[in-house]
Amino acid sequence: MSTDFILPDIGEGIVECEIVEWQVKEGDSVQEDQVVVEVMTDKAVVEIPAKFDGTVTKLYYAKGDIAKVGEPLFAIDAEGGNAPATAESKPQPAAPADSKPEEITKSSASNGTATDFILPDIGEGIVECEIVEWLVQEGDAIAEDQVVVEVMTDKAVVEIPAKSDGTVGKLYYAKGEIAKVGEPLFAIVEAGSAANDSATAETPSANTAAPSAASAPAVASTARPAGGEFEAPQPAAEGKALASPAVRRRAREANIDLTQVQGSGKKGRILKEDLDKTASSTAAVQSTAPASSAPASSATVAGGTRTEPVRGVRAAMARQMAESVRTIPHFTYAEEFDLTDLRIMHAKLKAQYAEQGVRLTLMPFFIKAMSLALSEFPIMNAQLNDDATEITYFDDHNIGMAVATKVGLMVPNIKQVQNKSLLEVAEEVNRLTAAAREGKVAQADMKGGTITISNIGVVGGTVTTPIINKPEAAIVALGKVQTLPRFAADGSVVGRDMMVASWSGDHRIIDGATIANFNKRWQQFLEDPMQMLTVMR
């Protein structure tokens, strides 16, 4: 008996995630705790394991789709019936005609199992909409992407398409009624459902009210029911292509201009078959074109664009940076550091500890020296509340490192640096850097930072104006280390290893003199490592 795995709460405030990679296919056998899928939240990539042994029977999302917390992620057939008792299902009787949407998640029909289509989130802040017009009736055969209903929000009229082929089982609202986001809108008996499917219809567990599998994207079907009712083909409105998000994404991937596609759906709606026909005809034209014309046509292509959604970590970074600049008055302070002596000491220690399997970079020195300076300037390790009425001082120095990753910028932080040795800091730097580059930083490592270091020098920068990682009060960006000519005490010119540190501070609680004095103390520790060793605990 197949059981739906419900996407659990994977972090405070996280309501959705993107499918990064499925580690299994439908039909694969899995074991308890085996990783089934990797998903990306707005903070990190998370691995989702199986809860028991069994066989994967259905993957409700494709790679790149957005999955909702609390909705089915995949279905698994437990081996030997060893699924938890709360996840097992019992047959359900057919739903009565007067059932309310809240009381129905699945209902059986004579020719298959009816599953509810849950009204999705159709706009930021929109929680309900009015039924403008049903374009189908109960009992009608419908095809994937066929428009079922038009609803009106407080901003526009929106067309809601079917996610799979099937037959309309029930319309839960009448024209003019108000439908709620997240509640069933209509029920559909999917094409190909067995007559005895109702005997295995699943019910939510006693502890978790699981939404129906129909609320997750159905697996795309290439077959269309012969009885599907369509109007005669009509052209779309001039300059506008009528198509579902799935069709639009497929068109982008195939580099097809939707305004040049003739839609065969109702009101000229473009279906997936229309894209296939367009792609086929384009390929035929290209194959019959003279070979000599190919280079000329490729040489004249210009002005192309590509649009992709901002999701996950990049979306979170965009919101965080915009909020930081909007609410915090930034000011910048920069100073040049002479790291010649530090690099000499680092080279000796690096070789020594490399023999012991410890990778020692310059970053642990920067972090530990900053912690020593923070002990003398606690305001740099403080945070101001949103209405600027209270300052909170933190005893722990949780120093963050900005790391560029394949999924966007991440800022994990090393906890309680004031209590760690230089080698312990180095171990944490290596652990967090490796995890961040894989996009798999634990939530605990992302929270609670008090100040941040960004190392732009690894990509060649020298001076910058970093954006504060709100709600922290300051951030520093390290430029690249360069061997530059400088005057020695006797007037001779010597080569010194120089680096610029660029600070941004919250001018509501930090003034120029404070950040200059703090930076000077940090600079002393780094330019003369012996000073750092004398005060290090």
CATH of the domain at 526: 3.30.559.10
Return phi, psi of residue 16, to 5°. Answer: -155, 165
Burial of 117 (0-12, 13-18, 19+ CB in 10 A): buried
264 part of a folded domain = no
23 part of a folded domain = no
- Strand pairing of 72-78 and 2-6? antiparallel
Task: Identify the sign of the CA torsion 379, 381, 386, 392.
Answer: negative
Question: Residue 461: which domain range?
Answer: 313-535
Q: How many domains does the chain have?
A: 1
- pLDDT beneath 70, residues of the chain: 1, 9-13, 42-43, 80-112, 121-126, 153-157, 192-246, 248-249, 266-267, 282-301, 311-313, 407
62 part of a folded domain = no
Angle, in degrees to the nearest 10, between helices 363-376 and 512-527 = 130
| pLDDT for residue 224 | 33
| pLDDT for residue 233 | 33
pLDDT in tens, 479-526: 999 999 999 999 999 999 999 999 999 999 999 999 999 999 999 999
| pLDDT for residue 90 | 32
Distance, CA of 425 to chain centre: 29
Q: Is 507 a catalytic residue?
A: yes
Annotated catalytic residue: which of 154, 276, 395, 511? 511
| pLDDT for residue 74 | 92
- Tokens 């080569």 appear where? 495
**Distance (Å, rounded) from C-alpha 133 to C-alpha 303?**
40
| pLDDT for residue 234 | 38
pLDDT in tens, 225-241: 333 333 333 344 445 56
518 part of a folded domain = yes
114 part of a folded domain = no
413's tokens: 């932080």
331 part of a folded domain = yes
* Complete edge-to-edge strand list for the sheet that includes strand 29-30: 2-6, 72-78, 54-59, 29-30
436 part of a folded domain = yes
**Distance (Å, rounded) from C-alpha 85 to C-alpha 88?**
5
| pLDDT for residue 413 | 96
- How many CB atoms sit inside 10 A of residue 520's CB? 11
pLDDT in tens, 327-375: 999 999 999 999 999 999 999 999 988 888 889 999 999 999 999 999 9
- How many CB atoms sit inside 10 A of residue 489's CB? 6
**C-alpha distances in Å from residue 360, one per residue of 333, 353, 375:** 29, 7, 24
139 part of a folded domain = no
Nearest Cα to Cα of residue 327 among 464, 448, 506:
506
Annotated catalytic residue: which of 53, 65, 507, 528? 507
Q: HEC profile for 303-346?
A: CCCCCCCCCHHHHHHHHHHHHHHHHCCEEEEEEEEECHHHHHHH
**Distance (Å, rounded) from C-alpha 401 to C-alpha 452?**
6
pTM attached to this predicted model: 0.54
What number of residues does the chain have?
Answer: 537
What is the Rg, in whole angstroms, of the alpha carbon atoms belonging to the chain?
A: 30
Q: Is 511 a catalytic residue?
A: yes
| pLDDT for residue 450 | 98
Return phi, psi of residue 256, to 5°. Answer: -110, 130
**Structural contact between residues 503 and 476, judged by C-beta atoms closer than 8 angstroms:** yes
Return phi, psi of residue 428, to 5°. Answer: -70, -40
| pLDDT for residue 13 | 58
